[in-house]
A and B are shown apart, each in its own frame.
Chain A
Amino acid sequence: MVKKKIAKVLAFRYKILAAILILLAGGLVLLPKYQKHEGIKPEELLSNTISPERYMTTDRLAHILINQDPSFILIDVRDEKSFASYTLPNAINIPLQKLFDEGSVSYLNQNQYDVVLFSNDNFYADQAWILCNRLGYKHLRVLKGGINEWFTTIINPVKPAENMSASDFELYTTRKAASMFFGVVYPEQVKAETPKVVKVAPKKVITIEKKKKAPAEGGC
C-alpha cells in the first residue's frame, strides 16, 4: 500500500519540481524590495568615526610638507574662491559639492597615497571624510582644526610664557622653524645678523686648532 502511494506521488515528481521552481521564481518577483545599504556597515563607520586615528595634527602635516613626502595628497574641500585666496602648498581643490564628480573620485578612492582633507575648520573636511569613508574609501585623514589651526600653530605660533615647560618651548622652536620654512620672517631673524658673524669667527678658530692637532696625531 505504502509503495503504491509513493509511486503515485512520484508519478507527479516532475510536476512537483516544476511547481517548486515557479514558486521560488515567483517569490523573487513578489518579494518586497528594499533599498540596499551601500558602502560599509554602520557599526564600522561609527568605529572609524570615533577613532582618533582619522585626524592628523598640523605639526605632523608641517613635518610632511617640509620633508616633501611624496606619499601624501592634500585636498582642500572649501570652495574655489577660498582656495584661490589661500591654501596649503600643493593642495588640490575638490569643493564639498563636487566631491563625487568623475575627476575627483580618482583622488579619493585609491590605494597609492594617503589623503589629507582640510577646510577652514575641520567641519567640512569631516563631512567629506564621513561621506567617503561610508563608501569604503581608504587612506583618508582630516587635518585637525583645518587651516585656522594651521595658522595659529604653524604660521603664527604662540610664544609660551616663561613658567611653561621645556617641551612647550621645544615645540615653539620647531613650529617657528616650520613657519620660517613656509615664508614667515621674524624680527629677531633680521636683527640677529650682526652677532651671528661674531659667533662664526670663534668657530673658525676652533676648527683651525683641530687642524693643528690632526697632523701631530698622524705623525705618531
Chain B
Amino acid sequence: MLPNQLTPEHFAAYPPEARQLATKQLSLLQRLPLAFLPLLLRELIVYDWKFPAERIDLDRQFTYLAHPQILTTAMAPFAQLRMTRELEQTDWVNSPAVFSEQLSAHLWATHQIDTFRNAAVDYVGKATASAPDPPLPTHRLGIGIIGQGVAKNDYRLFRKLRPQGTYYTQIKHNGGVQTLLAAAAARAKTHPVPYGHWYIDGATSLPVPEGVSRISYSALATPRTALQSRMLKTYEASVFDPEAFRTMLAQMKPEDVGLASGSDGLLNRFQLSLLTEGSGTQVFATTFVQWAARETLRRAQPLTIVARFTPRQRDKQMNELLAESQRKPELDPQGSLVDADMGAYYTWLNQQRLPGEDKSAFLVWFEDHDEALAIAPSLERGKRSDTPTELADLIARLA
C-alpha cells in the first residue's frame, strides 16, 4: 500500500488519541512519501503515551508540513529514495517500527543511508526552527551522582567535562545525596510541570515528593526478570531470528512484564521502552541510568534531572548476566565509576541539546568523596577550585 491509499479505517487499531490525530491529519499523511510517513506514524501511533514535550513537537511537525510549499521541499529528498515492493507491502500503518527496521536495512544495503540521514537531519532542524519553543519556567538543571561504593580512585574523573566548568576538589558533602534530592524536590515544588522533574537511580531510589518522576533499576526488578527470562530462552534456543526478536520486544506491553497497569500508564510505557529499546539496560545498572537519562532528556525534556549511578554487576557470559535474579551478582564498583563518569558526560551533552542550553546548569559529584564539577553560565570554564565548598552551597548556586 502507498500513502495516497490511506483511509480513516486504516487507523482503527490505533489508541484513541492517536486515531483521532491521524484522522484529522489524513489529507496530509496521504501526501507524504513512503520513506518518511511510517517514521512519522511510529511517533503518532504512541501519541497516547507521549510526554507533553513530545506532543508539542509532533504537533509542530504537522503545522510545519501543512504549508504546501514546505511539504514539497522538505519531502523531496525522501521522495527520491528508491524503495522496494516488499517495503510497500509491509503493514507500515500498524507496524511502523517493523517498517523502520526494514527501511534501515534497505537504505544501508542500497547505499542510500547517507542521503536519508542528511535529509532527516535537515528536516528535523527546519521543523524545530519553524516555531519557537515555549519559554521555560526556569533554567534546566542536571545532576549526576557517580561512584557509589568506590573507596579509592586513580581514574582522572570528569575529564570530558572539566573544560566546560569548574572542578572542585574540596567538597564538604555531609548528607550529600539527600541534599541534591532536596534541591530537585524544591525545584519541582516551585515549578510544578508534569514530567518536568526526574530522579533516576541505579539501585533502590530514595523517597522524593510526588512532583518528581522517579524510576530505578531495582524497582524494575520484576519486569527485568520477566524480560530476562524471555531473553534467556531466546538466547539458549537452537535457532534465533534477531529481527523477529526485536519485533517481539517492540510489541511488548507493560502488563506482559508485570508493570502495574493501575499506576501511571505513561511512565510504565516509558520504563518498558528503556528495557526493550535500550542495549545493556536489562543487565547493567550503569547502562540503565545513562540510557534512562538520555531518553528522559530526549523525550520528556525535563527542567530537572538527577541521575544516580550505582555499581553494575561484573561482566559475565550473557546467560549468567540474564540470570541476575537467581543469584546475588558480583559488583564492579571501579569499572562502574568509569562507566558513570562517561554517563555523566553524556547526560550533560543530552541536556545541552535541549532548548535553553545557554542557561542550563549541571553538577556531577563523586558520591561520598570531595570531588565535584559544576557547569553554569556564572561559573568559569576550565577552572579548578581547591577552596573548601559545601555541596549544599554549590547546588544552591546552580538550582
Are A and B genuine complex partners?
no
